[in-house]
Amino acid sequence: MTVEHMKWWGWGREGVGFHFEDKPAFAPFVEHAVGLDLHSAPAVATPDFADIDVPASQAPDALLGELRGAIGEEHVVVDDLDRVVHTYGKSIRDLIRVRAGILPRIPDVVAYPGDEDDVTRIVQVASAANAVLIPFGGGSNIAGSLEPTATETRPIISVDMGRMRLLVDIDEPAQIARIQAGALGPDLEAQLNAKGWTLGHFPDSFTHSTLGGWVATRSSGMQSDKYGDIAEMTRGLRVVRPDGTLVIRPMPNASTGPSVREMVLGSEGRLGIITEVSVQVHRVPEERVIHAYFFPRWNVALGAMQAIAASDAAPSITRVSDARETAFSMSTSKVRTGTSRILAEEVLPRIMKSKGWDLEDICMSFIGYEGSPAHVRRQRAAVEKIVKAYGGMGVGTGPGVLYDQKKFDTPYLRDFLLDRGAVADVSETVAPWSRLLELYDATVAAANAAYDEIGQPGWIMCHLSHSYHSGACLYFTFAWVAGGDEIAEYETVKASIQQSFVDHGGAISHHHGVGFEHAPWLEQDISAEGVAVMRGLFASSDPQRILNPGAIVAD
Contact assessment for residue 255 and residue 344, using Cβ atoms and an 8 Å cutoff? no
Considering all CA atoms of the chain, what is the largest pairwise distance in Å, rounded to the nearest integer?
76
Of 508, 498, 516, 495, the residue nearest 453 (C-alpha) = 495
Report the half-sphere exposure of 257 (CA within 13 A, side-chain side).
Answer: 3
Q: Which stretch binds a second copy (CB under 8 A): 1-9, 204-212, 452-460, 526-534?
A: 526-534
Part in contact with a second copy (CB under 8 A); list of ranges 192-200, 205-213, 387-395, 507-515 = 507-515
511 is a contact residue toward a second copy (CB under 8 A): yes
Q: Strand 132-136 relative to strand 109-111: parallel, antiparallel, unpaired?
A: unpaired
Nearer Cβ to a second copy, position 132 or 436? 436
Give which of 182, 119, 126 is closest to 156, Cα–Cα.
126
Tell me how far, at minimum, the Cβ of 116 lies from a second copy, in Å. 13
Q: Is 175 helix (H, G, I), strand (E, B) or coil?
A: coil
Query: Among 229, 322, 404, 419, which residue interacts with a second copy (rule: CB under 8 A)?
Result: 229
SS3 135: strand
Does 299 help bind a second copy (rule: CB under 8 A)? no
Nearer residue to a second copy within complex by CB, 340 or 372: 372
Report the residue from 56, 62, 247, 449 that binds a second copy according to the rule CB under 8 A.
247
Known catalytic residues are 475
**Which residue from 271, 393, 460, 481 is in contact with a second copy, where contact means CB under 8 A?**
271
Beta strands in 372-436 (DSSP E): 393-396, 422-432
Select from 430, 444, 460, 474 the one that contacts a second copy (CB under 8 A): 430
Helices (H) and strands (E) in the chain, counts: 20, 18
Residue type for position 337: T
Q: Quick check: 520 binds a second copy (CB under 8 A)?
A: no
Torsion angle, alpha carbons of 521, 523, 524, 525, to 10: 90
| 165 assigned binding-site residue | no
Query: Please, what is the minimum distance in Å from the beta carbon of residue 514 to a second copy?
Result: 5
**Can you state the percent helix, strand and coil of the chain, rounding each to 5?**
40, 20, 40
Residues 72-131 that bind a second copy (CB under 8 A): none
> Min. distance of Cβ 24 from a second copy in angstroms?
38
x/- contact string, 319-358, with a second copy (CB under 8 A)?
----------------------------------------
> Where are any strands of DSSP class E within 172-231?
176-180, 197-198
Per CB under 8 A, contacts with a second copy among 138-177 are 171-176
Tell me the window of 93-101, 252-260, 289-297, 343-351 that interacts with a second copy (CB under 8 A).
252-260
268 is in an annotated binding site: yes
Q: Does 373 bind a second copy (CB under 8 A)?
A: no
Asked if 544 is part of the footprint of a second copy (rule: CB under 8 A), the reply reads no
- Whether 339 has a binding-site annotation, put simply, is no
Q: Which of 154, 150, 186 is nearest to 167 (CA)?
A: 186
Nearest to 238 by CA among 271, 208, 210: 271
Which segments are annotated as binding site for substrate?
Answer: 414
Which segments are annotated as binding site for FAD?
Answer: 204-210, 217-220, 268-274
